[in-house]
Structure 1
Amino acid sequence: MAQSLLRMTLRQLQVFRAVCLHRSYSRAADAMALTQPAVSLQMRQLEEVVGQPLFEYVGRKLYITEAASSLLSASEDIFQRIENLDMQLSALQGTLQGELRLAVVSSIQYLTPHILAAFRQRFPQVSFRLEVCTRAQIIQRLRDNRDDLVLMGMVPADRALEFYPFLNNPIIAVAAPSHPLAGRTGLPLGAMENHMVLQREPGSGIRKACDEYFQQKRVHLQQVMQLGSGETIAQGAIAGLGIGLVSAHGAAPWLQNGQLVQLGFAELPFFRSWCVVHARGKRLSPVAQAFQDFLKEERGVIKELAQPFD
C-alpha cells in the first residue's frame, strides 16, 4: 500500500462522498454544513494524498474521474465495515442497533411494513431504509450490492444468490364487483380465455409465474392487456378493463374496501413463495443477519401478519 494513502482521513472521505453524490462543491457544502472553501480545501488535500485529480469540469458540469470512481467504491466498503463494527460492538453490549437497507418488489410492499414493525418490537434501536422496486430493478440492485437484503418471488436461477422462502405468495384473479364472473364459484380456469385479462409485463415475477402455470394447465389466454405494475392492474380491474392476475398481498387494500372481488376459479389461487435474498458470499451485517433469522425462525408470526392480506 502506498504510504501516502494512510494520510487520508474519514472526514475527507465523508466530504468526498458528498461531492460525488451531489456533483457540486456548493451543494455538498450545504449537505455537510460546511463552507464551500472548506470543501474545496478537503478535496485538494485528498487529491494530494491520492496523487491524481478526482474531479473535472466540462462546461459547468462536474464529473468524477476514474480515480474518483475507484476511491468511491473503496470508501463505500470502508464505511460499511465501520457500520458493521458499530453493530457488532452494540451486540457485544447486549443490544442490536443500526440500519437495515431492504429492497422489495412492489407486490409485497403493503405487507413489508408490518413485518418490519414486528421485527422492531424485538430490536427497537434498529431503523430501516426501504426501497420498492420492479423485479428488473431488484435484480440490478442485487448485482450492484446496493441493499443488505431483498424480498422477492421467482428468484433468478442464473445468478449466484442465496435465498430462503419464508411465506406463501398466493396469485389470484380479481375483478370489479360488476364483472360477469363475479359471485360465481367453481369456475374452470379455461373460462378466463373468453375475457380480457390484465397482466404484468414480461420479466416480472408474477407474469413469469402466471405464464408457467397457465402453460401447465393448457390454458391459452386470448385477450391480454399488459399494464406496468400490480397497482395499475388493480386500478384497471376496478375500472372494468378486465380480470387482473395479481398477488393477494398486493391486492388486499382494494379487496378489503370492496372495490375488487376475488373471482371463484377452482384452480386459483396458485402459490409461489416470497424469499429473502442476497448475493452468495455476501457478509451480512448483524442487523441483516438478525432480520434474515427472524424471517426463518418466526414463520408463524409472519403468516399471522399476512392473514389480512390473503
Structure 2
Amino acid sequence: MRKSLLRMTLRQLQVFRAVCASRSYSRAAEAMSLTQPAVSLQIRQLEEQVGLPLFEYVGRKLYLTEAAESLLQASGDIFDRLDSLEMNLSSLQGSLRGELRLAAASSIQYVLPHLLAAFRQRFPEVSFHVEVASRAQIIQRLADNRDDLVLMGLVPADRALEFFPFLNNPIVAVAAPDHPLAGQQQLPLSRLESSTVLQREAGSGIRKACDEFLQLKRVHLQQTMQLGSTEALVQGAIAGLGVALVPGHAAAPYIRHGELVCLNVVELPLMRSWCAVHARGKRLSPVAEAFLGFLREERALIRRLAEPFEP
C-alpha cells in the first residue's frame, strides 16, 4: 500500500464525501460547518495523498474524476465498517445503537412510520434515514448498494436479491361515493373497461402489477388517466375523475371518512406483499439484522399496526 494513503484522515474523507454529494465546495462547506478555504485545503491535501486530481470543472459544473469514483466507493466501505463497528460495540454493551438506512416505495409510507415506531420502542437508540422513492429509483439504489434494506412491493426477478414478504399489500378499486359504479354488487372486472381508470405512471410497481393482472384477465381499459403518485390517484378519485387502482393502505383513511368507496369488484383486491429486500450476499449491519428479525418475528404486531389502513 502507498504510504501516502495511510496519511488520509477520516475528516478528509468526510469532507470529500460532502463535496461528492453536493457537487459544490461552498455547499459542502456549509454542510460541514467549515469555511470554503478549509474545504479546498482538505481536498488539496487528499489529492496529494492520492496522487491524482479528484474533481474537474466543465463549464461551471463540478465532476468526479475516475480517481474520485474509486475513492468514493472505498470511503463508503470504510464508513460502513465503522458504522458496523459502532453497532457491534453497542451490542456488546447490551444495547443496539446506530442508523437504519431504508429506501421505500411511496405507497408504503402510510404504514412505515408505525413500523419504525414499534421497532424503536425495542431499540430506542436506533435512528432512521428513510428515502421514499419511485420503483426505478429504488432498483437503482439496490444496484448502488446505497441502503441497508429496501421496502418494495414487486421484487425484480432478474436480479440477485434476497427478499422477505412481511405484510399484505392489497390493490383495490376506489371511486367517489357518487360514481355510477358505487354501491353496485359483484361487479366483474370487465366493467372497468367502460369507465375512466386512474393509473400510476408506466414503470411504477403498482402500474406494473395492475397491467399484468388486467392482461391476465383479458381486460382492456378504454379510458385511462395517468397521475404521478399514489396520493394523486386517491385525490383524483375523490374529485370524481374516475376509478383509481391503489393500495388499500393509501385509500383506507378516505374510505373511513366517506370521501371514497371501495368498489365491489369480484376479482379484487389484487393481493400483493410488501417485501424487505437486499442484494444477495450483502453483509447486513446489526441494526438491519435486528429490523429483519423484527419483521419476521412480529407478524401479528405488524398486522395490528396495519389494520387502521385496511380498506
Interval containing the TM-score (normalised by the shorter chain): over 0.9
CA offset at residue 128 of structure 1?
0.7
Question: Equivalent residues in 2 for 1:14-163 (5 A)?
Answer: 14-163=14-163
CA offset at residue 56 of structure 1?
2.9
CA offset at residue 78 of structure 1?
0.6
Q: Partner amino acid for 2:76?
A: E
1:116-154 deviation digits (Å, cap 9, x = unpaired): 111111111111111111111111111111111111111
Indicate how the Cα distance of structure 1 residues 59 and 153 shifts in structure 2: closer, same or farther if over 3 A, else same. closer
Q: In the alignment, what sits opposite 1:204? A: 204
Q: In the alignment, what sits opposite 1:248? A: 248
CA offset at residue 41 of structure 1?
2.6
1:267-286 deviation digits (Å, cap 9, x = unpaired): 21121111100111111111
CA offset at residue 191 of structure 1?
1.8
**TM-score, normalised via structure 2 length:** 0.94
Q: In the alignment, what sits opposite 2:280? A: 280
Q: What percentage of residue pairs aligned between the two structures are identical?
A: 74
CA offset at residue 74 of structure 1?
0.9
Indicate how the Cα distance of structure 1 residues 181 and 20 shifts in structure 2: closer, same or farther if over 3 A, else same. same
Q: Partner amino acid for 1:303?
A: R
Contact 1:88 1:286 in 2 (8 A): yes
CA offset at residue 205 of structure 1?
1.6
Question: In 1, distance between residues paired with 2:28 and 2:226?
Answer: 42
CA offset at residue 60 of structure 1?
4.6
With 15-24 and 194-203 compared, the bigger mean Cα shift is at 15-24
Q: Partner amino acid for 1:110?
A: Y
- How many equivalent pairs are there? 310
CA offset at residue 61 of structure 1?
4.1
Indicate how the Cα distance of structure 1 residues 110 and 51 shifts in structure 2: closer, same or farther if over 3 A, else same. same
Question: In 2, distance between residues paired with 1:243 and 1:257?
Answer: 18
Indicate how the Cα distance of structure 1 residues 57 and 216 shifts in structure 2: closer, same or farther if over 3 A, else same. closer
Question: In 2, distance between residues paired with 1:29 and 1:190?
Answer: 59
With 184-193 and 99-108 compared, the bigger mean Cα shift is at 184-193
List alignment gaps of at least 5 residues for structure 2: none
1:272-308 deviation digits (Å, cap 9, x = unpaired): 1111001111111111111111111111111111111
Q: In the alignment, what sits opposite 1:169? A: 169
Q: In the alignment, what sits opposite 1:235? A: 235
Question: In 2, distance between residues paired with 1:283 and 1:301?
Answer: 27
CA offset at residue 33 of structure 1?
2.5
Q: State the SS of the aligned residue for 2:171.
A: strand
CA offset at residue 21 of structure 1?
2.5
Q: State the SS of the aligned residue for 1:220.
A: coil
Contact 1:106 1:250 in 2 (8 A): no
List alignment gaps of at least 5 residues for structure 1: none
CA offset at residue 92 of structure 1?
0.9
Q: In the alignment, what sits opposite 2:300? A: 300
Question: In 2, distance between residues paired with 1:215 and 1:199?
Answer: 15
Question: In 1, distance between residues paired with 2:212 and 2:30?
Answer: 52
Q: Partner amino acid for 1:192?
A: L
With 216-225 and 253-262 compared, the bigger mean Cα shift is at 216-225
**TM-score, normalised via structure 1 length:** 0.95
Question: In 1, distance between residues paired with 2:59 and 2:106?
Answer: 40
Q: In the alignment, what sits opposite 1:191? A: 191
Question: In 1, distance between residues paired with 2:275 and 2:102?
Answer: 13
Q: Partner amino acid for 1:235?
A: Q
1:238-279 deviation digits (Å, cap 9, x = unpaired): 111111111101222322322111111122112111110011
1:19-66 deviation digits (Å, cap 9, x = unpaired): 222333333333222333333332222222111122233455433322
